[in-house]
Structure formats: structure tokens, C-alpha cells
Amino acid sequence: MSTTISYENEFNSSITEKQASMLGNFVKIIKNNNVIKIKEEYKNNELWNVIYYQENETTDQILNKYPILSGIDIAKKTDIQGNYIKEEIKGYLKHQGLKLYSFSIENILTGKTLCFGDIDIQTGNIIPESVIKLQYNTYGDLAYYYHYNEQGKIDYIEEVDSKGIYANEFSMDYYNDALQLFP
């Protein structure tokens, strides 16, 4: 197994290890066989947050690797269908247990996130009003956010680099039929 370490600044641009230590705020990315295993976020050169991609480790084993942190995010790729992958992230706080449970769906060909939201910790069901779906333009840049309501229907559309809510001649029924909650 080959392990590589890379660094990114706050804008997700690649930087060197020396640049990272000079900046103080950076992300250290550890990959095993070109697959992200750990993302360590640093603020003022101190470890601030960790996203750990779980494989065979138990939650306790992962939490014990970072005893100085008060919490850690554990991510797991849970479902792959065609070009889409679902990732679930569980946020744990030391001495309190699971506090946040969320998901995202990505297109593995483009690396773009299609939607994300929260999952009810008690029931394991997606919380519809937390879901946000993203749409990209022909250049691959983010163009729209679709915010959903409690019924899983589009509540409003937000245009990126725009002021306020997107409005045009189409009704919300059109968008709800054209853009279902999940791809």
C-alpha cells in the first residue's frame, strides 16, 4: 500500500508542506493507494478537525487515534450506483457520542457534489428540509442551489453569484417534476 500526503489551502488549492506551515491554516490530506483516508484541518498550525474515511476500523479505534480533539467526523462511502456515490458523515463529540449525521451524493466521473443534507440520528431517515441539490453550468461551475421543504419539494432556488432567490416564468411544480430530490 502506498501512502501519499498532500496539502491544500483554505481555497482547496494545492500547496507545499512548507507553505502550509507558513500559512498556519491548511488541510493535510493522507491518501492510501490514491484514495483519501484522512483529512486533517489545521488552524494556526494546530490540529482543529479531522475527517476520517472509515473502512474496517471501529468508531472507538478512530476516536482513540485523536485523543486531543473534542470531536471527529467519520465518513463512509455507503452506496455506489452507476456514476453516483453516497457518502455518510457522522460527527462525534468526545463523551457525548454521535451529534451529527449527514450525507452527500457525488458524481464519481466529475467529482462534483450533486446534493447533501442531514439524516435524523434517531430514525436514520433523511430530513427533507435539510436537503440542498446543486446544479452546474456547462463549464462545470456551480450555478444553482435547490433548497427543499419538509415534503421533499423545492422550497426555493438560489442562483450563485446573484442577489436573492431565482425567479423566472416556470412554476415550482415544473422544477419539482424536472428535478426530483435525488438523482
Q: Per-residue confidence at 11, pLDDT binned at 50, 70, 90?
A: confident
pLDDT tens track for 125-148: 999 999 999 998 888 888 889 999
pLDDT score of 183: 45
Q: Residue-wise over 144-181: b if at least 16 C-beta within 10 A, else e?
A: bbbebeeeeebeebeeeeeeeeeeeeeeeeebbeebeb
| Domain range summary for the chain, segments of one domain joined by + | 1-53
pLDDT attached to residue 162: 55
Distance CA(178)–CA(183), nearest Å, equals 11
Place 169 in a pLDDT band, splitting at 50, 70 and 90.
Answer: very low
